[in-house]
Amino acid sequence: MEFLADYASFLAKTVTLVVAIVIVLVAIASMRGKGRRRSAGQLQVTKLNDFYKALRERLEQSLLDKDRLKALRKEQAKSLKKDKKQAEPKSRVYVLDFDGDIKASATESLRHEITALLTLATDKDEVVLRLESGGGMVHSYGLASSQLARIRQAGIPLTICIDKVAASGGYMMACIGDKIISAPFAILGSIGVVAQLPNVNRLLKKHDIDFEVLTAGEYKRTLTVFGENTEKGREKFQQDLDITHDLFKNFVANYRPQLAIDEVATGEVWLGVAALDKQLVDELKTSDEYIGERAKTAEVFHLHYVQRKSLQERMGMAAAGSVDRLLLGWWSRLTQQRFW
């Protein structure tokens, strides 16, 4: 028992020391960072043709004996030499990724990636966006969609690949593509607008707590969490939602005129197979399959703009990620739900 007490005391001191060191390091980094301009990020470029080639060669080395492998390499060298003499310059395919959260935070990297490729890409090339998003804030996804529109305006073919989900704001981005390719069980659609918030005004009144909401302008605040909501405010809020929905519908219809927009703009979602029947997508295929096919006839480059983050941001992201994983793990254990 005495040993456990000593060990607990030692452990507490160690943890305290580590926390103190971390706080000091963060404080030093913060002081050094003050007054400095935020460092620019970096564009990472990976040629996916080389990546696929390395995978194939590794498999060949594992499966073929030395004689067969030597003969294969000789044949490949001859073929490569012949192709270099005869072939015209290949077109390029630029692959981008967008993994969207509620604030469409990935837009910051996307805008730089698009700016970079527009300096070189021509109408003979192609941009492929691997898109995953369930939507989020209207203005955030409006900006993300506007970034993709730059590609269309430059006359460069844009293909959107969806493996899991492109709903609401995610589909708003997807519809800009010249071609939308979806995995068979990806979730698509949700062309609608939603807003929800609690109101605790009656609870506050029950405990004799007053909460005043003062505004200048009749509709400066239509619905509130703490104040008393009125029917007039609710009607105005609903009117604003309807206007936003109409703008959403018109935006989608402009880029995909083949849609029966009133039929699909109900807020519903469909799996890829059904979405194809609704003309929400043009083809059923995974992004891996499509990009692999393009790599046979074109040079394929993956672009990723990496934002340079401060020590505080990196530590904050690591802590947030740990909390997210912990909560998700416990939620999975508690619910034991299966999704498909």
- Residue 146 is a catalytic residue: no
- Residue 39 is a catalytic residue: no
Judge contact between 211 and 201, C-beta under 8 A: yes
Residue with tokens 């802590």: 319
Q: How far apart are CA 337 and CA 108, in angstroms?
A: 34
Active-site choice (34, 66, 220, 296): 220
Phi, psi of 261 (to 5 degrees): -60, -40
Find the angle CA(30)-CA(36)-CA(37) to the nearest 5 degrees: 125
Q: How far apart are CA 122 and CA 299, in angstroms?
A: 14
Of 44, 63, 45, the residue nearest 55 (C-alpha): 63
Please count the helices (runs of H) and the strands (runs of E) in the chain: 12, 10
Q: What is the per-residue DSSP string for 86-117?
A: HPPPPPEEEEEEEE--TT-TTHHHHHHHHHHH
Burial 138-172 (b: 16+ CB within 10 A, else e): bebbbebbebbebbeeeebbbbbbbbebbbbbbbb
> Can you read off the two tokens belonging to residue 308?
């340079």
Active-site choice (109, 168, 182, 190): 168
Q: How far apart are CA 281 and CA 167, in angstroms?
A: 12
Residues annotated catalytic, as ranges: 168, 220
